[in-house]
A and B are shown apart, each in its own frame.
Chain A
């Protein structure tokens, strides 16, 4: 009902309000961590209410008027560069924008060596010079294993990691996908941008008209979905190797396009055990 804030084992901060579930962790002096967590909590209070006040606008396809709220503006600004030739609403950036917003509040409050804010898999990262993170990537929630590891150093200037895929509610996912990817993980300068890009690349991993793909209008599942009557993926039958390669090719094309425009740094795409990597080798993704 209201904001829940709790400390979790391992010095992590848990913030939850309605559908937003955030785990944050900061590294640094004890007092700095305390100030950062306090700032995150303060930035979190009222955040959902402010977002909800502008929901109708945030569900409209871009281009659209710029909203007022700080998080809403992060969503709008992150999604807009993708809107020229693709259907996208600011909602594609909601989880990443919340993560960015909380991380910004933490960094403004205190000097931190490292910090992350993980909003349901969309992660905002901060690395002071010389620091690094190793991020594990799990492609299949039904059979969780370490499918890849991204080693991120401060000089890579990666501020966000986001993952999108076919999994919908009840099977581990939180939102709808127009595509069939098991998982698309994107590294970008911030979490909101990574969030939008992962969503759009996962949408592009697709086999239009293929009989194995079961689709339903989004509004039949959620009457308020920003996707309206667009068909979202609810099931995927058996695919042959050529199908898998063809679907991944479409996603890779989209990812390369985003990378050429400087929107993302790297992406990794998974479908039925096959994997493609887009981006420079240092960021890649071993395992």
Chain B
């Protein structure tokens, strides 16, 4: 809109003139929703969620302070009647949530807060990063086929990410990233941003995967795959399941085939069966033999047995060797979660006939299920804070990077611990479940807004060229009208404690 109006220089129309007037009056136009409020300096838009702060559009959420109990067992100031006096580095931590940002950071970060912890003067630089380079790594505990590697993951038809390298017992998605946020169409960027925001804030989102499944994702909840809630994560691959339960099957069955999309296990051929001196059963499964009793690619990936497309397990049996097998042979076929299981006895023509499963065998099948962990969706936020955001911390940004690298400066996101990637920059990952609810926001760029805090001894902060004139004591936050308090997540390490080295 702006560029159009700037072009009409000869005979500016009324709208163009009003925009020139807007600029002179310091008005910013908020495009967070269709109302398109024009906001005067110091005022807020119709929603009160966005405002004009010194000529910039800013979110106006409350600044979140996380508080934990002190030695006296009292949480210092949960509630509105806090007088500020008990605020100390032992009990209160100012998170970046709602802190706002000074992007592009030619100014010091919004809050640079000094507090004392166990006799050491500490400083926490609190800000919210606007991340175009950011995304989510989503781990989905299932062996079910969700889609081929590299397949597009879509929301509302827009690509928001892709299927990436599967991990043990889990399928992995990589969502977001700069190419989908700002590199594609406007709609692609918006949908990607909304998807990331919802998932990062622990809400549910349904995605569809090209040539694959429809999956409902929500951090900390079971995935729902094509409308079916996944209950269990597999106990291990088929070969691992053979190894774990061989001794318990021994004597009750003559052969066990654990059907698995990754490695299907065949007990009597497997090292575990050999160890028990089991008689070879002569049942050969399809697929490519890796090592004895371990088969790759017995079927295609799918939503049937053990993450394969198998509906009738007998279809993976290539042949039964009449020289080795015998009538009356007892065969168990089972999946890696125990959700699918069938018991067979070979008849006189060596054809498997389904039979009632003996109690002792059913017990071991149940034990497979018992040993499966609940299937969960885990969401890690990943972003790079190695750019201009550092200028809000220090005049000499590379020193922050080095200090982080040496472990002098602890990086947290909403108070939650982060994993720092080796190599250049400050590229981190954080478990969104360890962060407070609704830690994330977004800007219309589109980009995600995430809290980030840097905590270090005050002396080190001075030495790195920190904005010492902006350091203010924690207690002065009682004058911060926007401050709100939440309970500290006790599972997280206290950020002011010296980082383990």
Name A residues whose Cβ lies closer than 8 Å to a Cβ of B. 1-2, 6, 17-19, 21, 48-49, 52, 55, 169-170, 174, 220-224
Contacts and interface: CB of A to CB of B under 8 A. Distances in A.
Interface stretch (B32-40, B132-140, B217-225, B284-292): B32-40
A49 to B, nearest CB: 5
B86 interface: no
Interface string B431-457: 000000000001010000000000000
A224 B442 contact: no
A55 B38 CA distance: 13
Interface in B20-48: 22, 25, 27, 32-40, 43-48
A54 to B, nearest CB: 12
Given A19-B46, A169-B44, A1 B35 contact: no
A174 B35 CA distance: 15
In this complex, the interface size class of chain B, counting residues with CB under 8 Å from chain A, is 20 to 34
7 contacts: A2-B194, A6-B203, A48-B33, A48-B34, A49-B34, A223-B25, A223-B38
Contact of B32 (A18, A169, A174): A18
A17 B22 contact: no
Contact of A52 (B32, B36, B45, B194): B36
Interface of B: 22, 25, 27, 32-40, 43-48, 190, 193-194, 203, 442, 444
Q: Which 3 A-B pairs have the closest CB atoms?
A: A18-B33, A19-B46, A19-B47
A55 B37 CA distance: 11
Given A1-B32, A174-B46, A224-B37, 13 more contacts: A18-B32, A18-B46, A19-B33, A19-B48, A21-B47, A48-B33, A52-B34, A52-B35, A52-B36, A169-B48, A220-B40, A223-B27, A223-B38
A220 B39 CA distance: 10
A168 to B, nearest CB: 10
B196 to A, nearest CB: 12
Contacts of A1: 32-33, 190, 193-194, 442, 444
Contacts of A2: 190, 194
- Which residue, of B35, B194, B203, has the highest number of chain A Cβ atoms within 10 A? B35
Contact of A221 (B22, B36, B43, B48): B43
Nearest to A224: B38
A174 B34 CA distance: 18
Contacts of B45: 19
Given A1-B444, A170-B44, A19 B193 contact: no
Contacts of B37: 222, 224
A74 B190 CA distance: 31
B40 A19 contact: no
A48 B34 CA distance: 7
A19 B190 contact: no
Contacts of B38: 222-224
B321 to A, nearest CB: 58
Contacts of B27: 223
Contacts of A224: 37-38
A169 B45 CA distance: 9
Contacts of A221: 40, 43
A18 B190 contact: no
Nearest to A173: B48
Nearest to B442: A1
A48 B36 CA distance: 11
Contact of A18 (B35, B194, B203): B35
B35 A48 contact: yes
Contacts of A52: 34-36
B91 to A, nearest CB: 29
Contacts of B22: 223
Nearest to A46: B34
A98 B386 CA distance: 45
A78 to B, nearest CB: 20
A21 B444 CA distance: 20
B35 A19 contact: yes
Contacts of A222: 37-40, 43
